[in-house]
Structure 1
């Protein structure tokens, strides 16, 4: 199908007949949205069917951008809902407007929102319409009181733990968390100072830079003095702003430092393996026998002396001449040679190998 009309700044021009058909089907329709995260579709549908049934509400639909479309039977019912607000679903205000083909669906910046506020520790002497209006005016524009608070103001008896009011707060002012009030003493001069705690049942995001609800300073597109934030880009075209890099890039895990294991050296310089470097640069092995075990490699010619055995021998040397050690006179050899005549042996002899005179 070829379009009848063409424009240089558009790829396709929709004919008026197509838009007219849609406009007829979407007659008496309100569209609405929530600030921040939207509520689930069944929750909004249940509210509209129960609260707006008397205004001729018929059906509801929603798109992927979080906009809700409310269909009404008549124009009169639509206008009553539009003018009868504010409407709060689960304490979150629903912003409504009339839909038409010329409407561009955008969540525009909101400068004021209605919020239910609880005023704790309100003195009993302030529970009047005028007294609560003065308190609420320090937060915004008072809209209404709940039934319990209204009964307390009318009968001066009822719930006094807190006062609950619907107040339209402005983004121009910071949301207060307390109100300090001065109550005059009736029988003498002076005032009684009281502190009223403010609790917001729902608190929207507020940007102090552009004075709008719906976002805060961290996600605001404007910087100081209303100027747009400048993104710093290096020569290679990469963003160097750390905050923006953290939001746009993949999270990177910190690499653990490489650990190199080395043998632990004692205070004498010897390693824990029992070896040490000799003067020639070659490792030596300690061959000392501290329990004077008999040398079984020889022919039973004697015991190794402790002082001689403590000498270390190079590990690479295994010749017989290097293994021969001088034998010294020991106490055991003297004992074993006792009673022997004409024997010049200084070593310990084995039984049966040496003759005894006598």
Structure 2
């Protein structure tokens, strides 16, 4: 691309680079259908991550997978619909390790956001069926963090044992096991919260579910890390059993 000299804004005698909305509108649109992907405790090779993403479903165009030196990936899909399908298909695991996925935002900052505010799938067992709508589920999600999505089975009420929603939560705080709900008759009910994955946050190194050492880079063979939904437990990096798994 060709670059040109552009006169800068002068504020109190200092040069200030002023970026206007129209300056970044095209790039915002380009990166909007993207997700940030982080594998807890490990850094897969870019080839392994490409295979992992492709295995999540069928796409109109092959997703673009880019690696950042801070240890995360940015995956750009052809459109936001395909992005949302992948986000809603979680929780995701790569070689039994939890995978954190977040929609990309212009103000995204990896160290400030992805290690403290994480999308977590929760289950609401025995939630009254008249509460299975976007308003009530949004209110419940808002009591825990930033509600994002309800899964398809919850949206269609095709499975009624529990409702399942994705919420962006601050993992530096304790995660509640129960919330109180007041029904239309004024009765206060205690609603249990089940977490499909409960991340551990280490305040010493400001990391999620891993030691303070740099995550270990692991190559993955084709087909590994797909379709796994097992409960994940943190392990110590360098353990012999773990080395065999990786």
For normalisation by structure 1, the TM-score amounts to 0.36
Higher RCO structure, 1 or 2 (CA under 8 Å, sep 6+): 2
For normalisation by structure 2, the TM-score amounts to 0.50
* Higher share in strand: 2
CA radius of gyration, larger in: 1
